[in-house]
């Protein structure tokens, strides 16, 4: 199963919209017959990939899979049927499929007389598909709130300038994180004032082949000539001020991981709604003393009411250019429901 999990997380495999899945076929002596993994939407599922390699050798084998075999016909057929047709004797899976559309494969296999065991290394399997699993369980996308700030918590100076609070190393790291998400989300004010492009770019400032959806949230009418609406990536205007409604619309668009990069007002709205699941901040060793705060008023009047976060990672980003500052990336999760 650990090998199957490693296959599921193969480099280059997208984190959505389909789950990442690995499969290992074993013979009666526990020797590997074939391995397979899912390479993204529209490609063969992990079980089918392994079965095609194994051919007749799959008969009587054990299939070790990181996710319950699907029981759904989409762009590909159900893996439960493929396993039955191949003649495998036993199926061991890690995580039960939380997607109601595809679930039920284990029951189908058992009804066909195949021995089925589930739950092996389930926690590890859920980590491989953290955002997908979250979205299927909660019925909304996982939200990562990212912002850059000075040592005194400012995201822009008093005159509104913010280029650059973060270092080049931090900005490149941000693009790396953007590429792991399927949606970039900002508010209408950010689009009107800053005119961001919101694309994912490499170290040479060239756009990647696959781009997240650029989502703009708010009821304000916007100039269609703003860069966020150009042809370099798909875009959508969510005409609501309600974070719950915005995430509902994005989930209906099959989006599972939102990268929240809006201003302090949008950040505060999501935080107060309890819809921030992860916080990534880039801390720059500079002081401004005044200017725009990283987040707007949260309605907290005393230190006893402060919201606390759990730090899960601290990474020092060394300068890439002469004169640039060392930045620190801090990754956190809410400590308690907020």
**More confidently predicted of 14 and 33:** 33
Confirm or deny that 268 is annotated as ligand binding. Answer: yes
Strand order in the sheet with 142-150: 235-238, 213-217, 183-187, 257-260, 142-150, 278-284, 327-334, 309-317
Task: Write down the pLDDT at residue 313.
Answer: 98
Confidence of residue 14 (pLDDT cuts 50, 70, 90): confident
Residue 59 has pLDDT above 90, yes or no: yes
The catalytically annotated residue of 35, 47, 68, 278 is 47
Greatest C-alpha distance within the chain? 71
* 47's tokens: 């079980």
Residue 299 dihedral angles phi and psi, to the nearest 5°: 75, 20
Confirm or deny that 45 is annotated as ligand binding. Answer: yes
Over residues 112-138, the mean pLDDT reads 96
* 144's tokens: 């990562």
User: Can you give the pTM of this predicted structure?
Assistant: 0.91
- For residue range 194-225, list pLDDT tens digits in order: 899 999 999 888 999 889 999 999 999 999 99
3-state helix, strand, coil in the chain (%, to 5): 30, 25, 45
Residue 75 has pLDDT above 80, yes or no: no
Structural domains of the chain sorted by starting position, each given as residue range(s) with its CATH number in brackets: 2-134 (3.40.140.10), 139-334 (3.40.430.10)
Residue 89 has pLDDT above 60, yes or no: yes
How far is the C-alpha of 313 from the C-alpha of 335, rounded, in Å? Answer: 14
* 21's tokens: 């899945």
Confirm or deny that 264 is annotated as ligand binding. Answer: yes
Between the alpha carbon of residue 58 and those of residues 55, 202, 253, 281, the distances in Å are 6, 42, 37, 49
Task: Write down the pLDDT at residue 338.
Answer: 53
Task: Write down the pLDDT at residue 16.
Answer: 80
Residue 229 has pLDDT above 70, yes or no: yes
Angle at 247 between CA 245 and CA 253, to 5 degrees: 110
Over residues 152-181, the mean pLDDT reads 91
- For residue range 234-288, list pLDDT tens digits in order: 999 999 999 999 999 999 999 999 999 989 999 999 999 999 999 999 999 999 9
Is 47 assigned a catalytic role?
yes
Mean pLDDT of the chain: 94
Confirm or deny that 79 is annotated as ligand binding. Answer: yes
Confirm or deny that 235 is annotated as ligand binding. Answer: no
Confidence of residue 42 (pLDDT cuts 50, 70, 90): confident
């Amino acid at each position: 199963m650990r090998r199957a999990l490693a296959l599921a997380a193969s480099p280059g495999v997208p984190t959505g919209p389909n789950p990442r899945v690995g499969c290992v076929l074993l013979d009666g002596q526990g020797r590997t017959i074939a391995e397979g993994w899912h390479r993204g939407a529209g490609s063969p599922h992990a079980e089918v990939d392994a079965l095609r390699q194994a051919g007749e050798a799959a008969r009587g084998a054990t299939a070790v899979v990181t996710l319950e075999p699907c029981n759904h016909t989409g762009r590909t057929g159900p893996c439960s049927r493929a396993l039955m047709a191949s003649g495998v004797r036993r199926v061991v899976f890690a995580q039960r499929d939380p997607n109601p559309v595809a679930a039920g494969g284990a029951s189908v296999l058992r009804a066909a007389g195949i021995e089925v065991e589930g739950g092996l290394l389930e926690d590890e399997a859920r980590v491989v598909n953290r955002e997908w699993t979250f979205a299927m369980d909660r019925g909304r996308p996982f939200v990562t709130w990212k912002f850059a700030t000075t040592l005194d918590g400012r995201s822009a100076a008093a005159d509104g300038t913010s280029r650059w609070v973060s270092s080049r190393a931090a900005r490149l790291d941000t693009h790396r994180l953007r590429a792991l998400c399927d949606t970039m989300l900002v508010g209408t004010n950010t689009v009107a004032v800053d005119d961001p492009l919101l694309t994912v770019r490499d170290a040479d400032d060239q756009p990647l082949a696959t781009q997240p959806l650029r989502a703009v949230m708010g009821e304000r009418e916007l100039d269609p000539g703003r860069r966020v609406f150009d042809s370099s990536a798909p875009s959508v205007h969510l005409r609501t001020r309600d974070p719950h409604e915005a995430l509902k619309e994005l989930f209906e668009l099959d989006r599972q991981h939102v990268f929240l990069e809006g201003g302090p007002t949008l950040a505060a709205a999501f935080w107060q709604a309890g819809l921030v699941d992860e916080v990534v901040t880039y801390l720059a060793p500079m002081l401004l003393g005044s200017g725009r705060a990283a987040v707007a008023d949260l309605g907290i009047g005393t230190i006893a009411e402060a919201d606390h976060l759990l730090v899960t990672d601290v990474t020092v980003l060394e300068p890439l250019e002469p004169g640039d500052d060392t930045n620190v990336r801090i990754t956190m999760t809410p400590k308690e429901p907020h």
